[in-house]
Structure 1
């Protein structure tokens, strides 16, 4: 049975290609492989770069240490040369002669000896371009050897370094390079050693020694040292200015990097130049002066070999992309497509077609197990739908029977109500007649009092009494018939109430059956929900069907609980009605006896009144008997009146109960109709599935 459900929104929705399971698995695999390759490559590149930097840094620092030790020895050589002047007694004697001699020849001899001494030192060390002695006293004159010029003495003595040398009082002071030389007129930069030559005996000084050393000679000691591609070696002061550089134009300018200000700090650091490039700087302070030997290597050149790893990483990432695409394609074929097929079957099953089955080929994985579980689930749902359909038909038939029984109960209640109203009317009439009989007895008594006074009035009264007796007899006969009819109707009402009680018991049994069916349906729905939950996302479609069946089962259970409550209340009220009727039945029996007795009395009165005219002569004696009969009649009327009032009250109570029973019966009919409608709705809902 095929159907189109227009009242329920279809759960089928189109899946975006990039949100499908296959695409997600492909992206996860693709991203994982690519991320792993790139991460490992970049980590290798970064680690290699760090290792290269660390190794080069250590090697560079060791090289700088060796070069610095070499330069310290070179500078120490020049310091030792200057020390020869301090400890040379002949030099100080010649200086004393120049200061104290009066003849020019002695001064000339002394000057020649000093010049020869300086010349010997200058010739013995080719790195010394010139030696100049700057006088500290007026008696002395400048002495120069080599390329040194005495003409520059006055100019040099005005410079700051000269004053600094004098302040040091014999300590060595290394003079920063000048672009045009110091003691010489060389166009090449040169640095100088300045020292005040104090006499160790007199502690007086006559000259300041100035030795000029070309920068080129100092740089030759490390010119063959190469730290790496693009590396540079230079000497800087503590203020960050170049003392010696490969580019002579940079001498005296600020360096491109900034080193720590602490003069005792030595090491190797990665620093950033002013132009933004990173360099690895290895530096060490020189022991002879507050200068530093600095070697710089561009980091870019340093880690150039590490770029091979980066390139290999990129190639590997490209290969990984191809491998990930191949793996993703296999995943889509083996996982995504079967899942999409199962999803489409789920959606078709959710739309109501329970005949569909999965045709995935047998394979040893979870996909095949999911396919088998789907087929078993659809079979169980089909069986559940069949059983539910049958149960719905049974509920529908039971609802029809319940409706028919409720209608019969309502009809019986209406008949009971009508009979009760008639009983109430009869009891009212009986009370009225009883009151009239009592009034008639009083009237007879008055007539008997007057009968002795007027015989004619007695005759007339006797006639009236005879007429009243006939009327009372007729009324009593009618009352007896109504009383008997009331008894029969009460008996029938008791029988119908008993039948209604049996029908109520049958309804309770039927409701128990319906409640069990509802529980079974709810259990089956719960099992279906559990199976759908186990299926995961693929079972969402069937979960909708399971929820609908469970909701229908809950509605049926609620309706059955309402009907059961009302049926229980009806049963209680029927029980109360039976008890009331059981109490009222003996009263009806007593009422019938009293009516029969009153009827006999009226017949006796009528017989006596028939012979009343024949016994007018014996009226006096008859009046006494009549008075007795009148007393008996008055007592009987009183009893009849009491019984009539009690019967009227009972009839009103029975009428009230009958009215309430009628309302309950109407409610039972409505509930039966509601149960019938729910049953039909359940059947129509189940008929929408294709089984």
Structure 2
């Protein structure tokens, strides 16, 4: 059964064909459908996304350009200021280095003064305290001539390295030997072994009583002759003198000039409160950058640009720090202008975004709402957008699409009804086919079982035929033995006259041979009886084969056209059975003849045996009896020849029977294989029929689902 679905029912109509009266009414009714359109979440709107993209793009571009300009100008200003400040700091550093070198030269002059050296030598040779005091007074007078002439020097002190001698001070410097010997700066001077040591600043001076901060330099006073040092020369210098040297160093508003030592302690600052404290600016201590350079860092929470250079004499560093905000305050105008332009650009972006929303987003939202209505099954909605741009073209395409979908839904609904009806008919036909296939399968299985039984019986017949063949071979062997014995008897009869003297001795042998012949004839008789039984079995098999052939013919007739092939096989089986029956009848007749001949042979031997008995009793009658035996043996040889011919005929019949049984077995096996193949095909047909039923049910379900789906649309 075939079902053809006409595809031309589903072909979409063109736009011109669709604008009929029905479509026009649908188009007019779409205006009522648009009244129910509602707006959704505006955050997910394309218009808002376009607005944000335009707004962010314009604003980001303006800010990036402005801030990049601000950053670039800021970097350039910092570089230029750092270069110019480095030059100014280098000049101030040179002046301070010169000042420090002058102080070092002054200390060297004091140390190398002839009076000082003489007094140092005399002090080392003095034996009483008075001489030492006098020498100390002379040293004080000599140093005073150097110190008091320089207004930048606060004063000086000659401090004994060891002992309890009183320190000699010059100028405003005052201190005790005991306090000085315990101080750290005293230890650092002694460790220098005669080299000049610059000491950090002190807010109250090294004596602790100065009103102004001071710095100091000191060295061990050694005699050039003995290289023995017993005193330390300490010279205090006004810290304000450094401030005077740096007074003309201006790096900008808010700048700060400091001097720090190697431990990053502040040695000089305009703010005296910062003296001896850690500098907020951390400078490099290793490498090339440790001597000079510039860096941007934080100082008390303020970003500063720091330039520094190391003194050649003291090892201290002159540091100039300028707040970055003061440097780039003019560049802030670029940043402010950037913010203003960014605000203007933001307003412009808002205007452009609103225009885009009005021209693009709102029509798209309307189309989106109409499509949502169409998704819910309302095919009557139509767009009223009348524009010439792409959105207007999209609206027109939407209207045409909804028109085509409406027509398609109507046609699909009708097709679904047709498919549903066809599916029902197909389901009924498939069920009937499945029932017929099941019945055919059952009948085929019965035929296959019969063919299998026939094959088994044929195999049994073949086995029996083989057994008959073996029995026939035994009969032929016995017949040959009988022929040989008869020939010997005949030869003995001819030579009876010659061997009459030895007849008595050979008569016993003849008796034994006769007895053996009787036994063999008896066994031959039993073999013929077995052949009769086998023939009876074969006859029964032939009858059963005829019955099976008749049953197969009946079942083939019931199967109709499908059983014609099997009916031919059944006819062939029946013919083979008839041939087997005829062959069995012939064999039976031959067997009966053999039975008769054997019975006659038994009777002859039975008659011959008393004669042999009488021959023993009467030798005189031996010649006549022997002649009688010779005549009878001639008859016996003739009869044996007859038996031999009958056995040959029986052997040929047995060969024919064996071939017939082989053919029966082959036909039975072929019939069984054919029946099994037919049964397999029947089962396959049954499975196909069941699958066809399932497909019919599935088609019916799909048709019902399609009908329910199409029922959602309103046309």
Q: Which TM-score applies when normalising by structure 2?
A: 0.49
Cα RMSD (Å): 5.4
Secondary structure of the equivalent of 1:220?
Answer: helix
**Alignment partner of 1:179 is 2:199:** no
Q: Confirm or deny: 8 A CA contact 1:99 1:139 kept in the other structure.
A: no
Assess if the C-alpha contact under 8 Å between 2:110 and 2:143 holds in 1.
no
Q: 1:104 to 1:258 in 2, by over 3 A?
A: closer
Candidates 20, 30, 45, aligned match of 1:20 = 45
1:32 corresponds to which of 57, 60, 76: 57
Give the distance between the partners of 1:687 and 1:129, measured in 2 at CA: 109
- Secondary structure of the 2:245 match is coil
Q: 1:196: which partner in 2?
A: 220
Alpha-carbon spacing, 1:683–1:237, altered in 2? closer, same or farther (3 Å): closer
Structure 1, residues 466-488: CA drift from partner, whole Å, max 9, x if none? xxxxxxxxxxxxxxxxxxxxxxx
1:229 aligns with 2:247: no
Q: Residue 311 of structure 1 corresponds to which residue in structure 2?
A: 336
Could you say which residue in structure 1 is the equivalent of 2:320?
A: 295
In the superposition, relative to structure 1, how do residues 387 and 560 fare at CA in structure 2: closer, same or farther (>3 Å)? same
Answer yes or no: is the 8 Å Cα contact 2:121–2:223 preserved in 1: no
Residues 166, 176 of structure 2: 8 Å contact kept = no
The 5-angstrom pairing of residues 155-166 of structure 1 reads: 156=180, 159-166=183-190
Identify if the C-alpha distance between structure 1 residues 557 and 272 changes in structure 2 by more than 3 Å, giving closer, same or farther: farther
1:252 partner SS: coil
| Separation (CA, whole Å) in 2 of partners of 1:238 and 1:317 | 49
Q: 1:84 to 1:140 in 2, by over 3 A?
A: farther
Structure 2: gaps (5+ residues)? 1-21, 30-35, 441-550, 564-688
Contact 1:85 1:197 in 2 (8 A): no
Residue in 2 that maps onto 1:559? 423
- C-alpha distance after superposition, 1:348-378 (max 9, x if no partner): 5556665665443343x43233233224424
1:75, CA displacement in angstroms? Answer: 1.0
Q: Distance in 1 between matches of 2:246 and 2:221?
A: 31
Cα distance in 2 for residues equivalent to 1:206 and 1:189: 28
SS at match of 1:326: helix
CA pair 376-168 structure 1, distance change in 2 beyond 3 A: same
Deviations along 1:180-230, one digit per CA (max 9) or x if unpaired, are: 334695311111111223233442346532222011112222233233332
SS in structure 2 at match of 1:227: coil
Contact 2:164 / 2:177 at 8 angstroms: preserved in 1? no
Cα 1:93/1:378, change in 2 over 3 Å? same
Q: Deviations over 1:127-163 (max 9, x none)?
A: 12323344569999866554445x7566545544334
How far apart are the structure 1 equivalents of 2:83 and 2:215? 30
TM-score by length of 1: 0.51
Shift of 1:95: 4.8
- Counterpart residue number, 2:295: 269
Provide the secondary structure at the position in 1 that maps to 2:312.
Answer: coil
Residue 146 (structure 2) pairs with residue 121 (structure 1): yes
The residue that corresponds to 1:131 in the other structure is 156
Alignment partner, residue 94 of structure 2:
69
User: 1: CA distance between counterparts of 2:63 and 2:265?
Assistant: 44
State the 1:323 CA deviation.
Answer: 1.1
Unaligned runs of 5+ in 1: 5-10, 400-554, 577-644, 658-663
**1:224 & 1:262 partners in 2: Cα distance?**
30
1:285 is aligned to 310
Compute the displacement of 1:100 (Å).
6.6
The residue that corresponds to 1:239 in the other structure is: 263
| 3-state SS, counterpart of residue 355 of structure 2 | helix
Q: Is the 1:388–1:686 contact (alpha carbons within 8 Å) kept by the matching residues of 2? A: no
Contact 1:286 1:292 in 2 (8 A): yes
Q: How many residues align?
A: 437
Structure-1 residue corresponding to 2:105: 80
Provide the secondary structure at the position in 1 that maps to 2:320: strand
Contact 1:282 1:295 in 2 (8 A): yes
CA distance in 1, matches of 2:318, 2:711: 97
The offset of 1:114, in angstroms, is 6.1
